[in-house]
Amino acid sequence: MAQITFITNDNQTITLEGTAGSVMALAVENGVSGIDGDCGGVCSCATCHVHVAPEDMHKTGPASEIETDMLELDDNANEYSRLCCQIEISGALDGIVLTVAN
């Protein structure tokens, strides 16, 4: 179980609890604005872009190679960027804060 906080572009703060699956799926299920997940979570659409709070980066680890490449489609990407369909929910994420990129 992990508590995951999303901060959306319209400055809403939403804290959700997840047990399994991807962070993208949790966000879509709860209608977190700005996370669309159009490709269903296979790292093909880049519509699930978040910025991980710098102090939480160790909880997710860095983006994979394909993720890093795909993130280049978004001008908004930086070293804290992740495609959150590629982040699996586990206890290790507990307390993490993610800012939705778009």
Partner 1 sequence: MTEMPTKKPVCVVIGASHAGVNFAFALRKEGWEGEILLYDADPELPYHRPPLSKTYLSNDDGLDKNRLQAAERYNKEQIVLKLGETVVSMDGQAKHIVLADGGIQPYDKLVLATGARPFMPPIRGIDQAKNLFPLRTAADVAHIREVLRLGTSKEVVIIGGGYIGLETAASLRKLGASVTVLEREERVLARVTAPEMSAFFNDLHAAHGVKVFTSKNVVAIEPHGEANEVHCSDGTVYKADLIVVGVGIVVNKELAQQAGLTIDNGIRVDASARTSDESIFAIGDCTYHYNPHYGRYVRLESVQNAVDQAKVAAAAIAGKEPVYDTLPWFWSDQYDVKLQMVGLSQGYNQVLVRKEAENPNSFSVWYFLDEVLLAVDAVNQAKAYVLGTKLIKGGQRIDKTQLADPTVDFKLANLLSESI
Residues forming contacts to partner 1 in the complex (CB under 8 A) are: 21, 25, 28-31, 36, 38-40, 42-45, 65-66, 69-70, 72-73
CB of 29 to partner 1, least distance (A): 4
Q: What is the spatial distance between Cα 68 and Cα 70, in angstroms, rounded to a whole number?
A: 6
Pairing of strands 2-7, 96-100: parallel
| Residue whose CB is less far from ligand FES, 47 or 60 | 47
**Other CB atoms within 10 A of residue 82 CB:** 26
> In whole angstroms, how close is the CB of 1 to partner 1 at the nearest point?
19
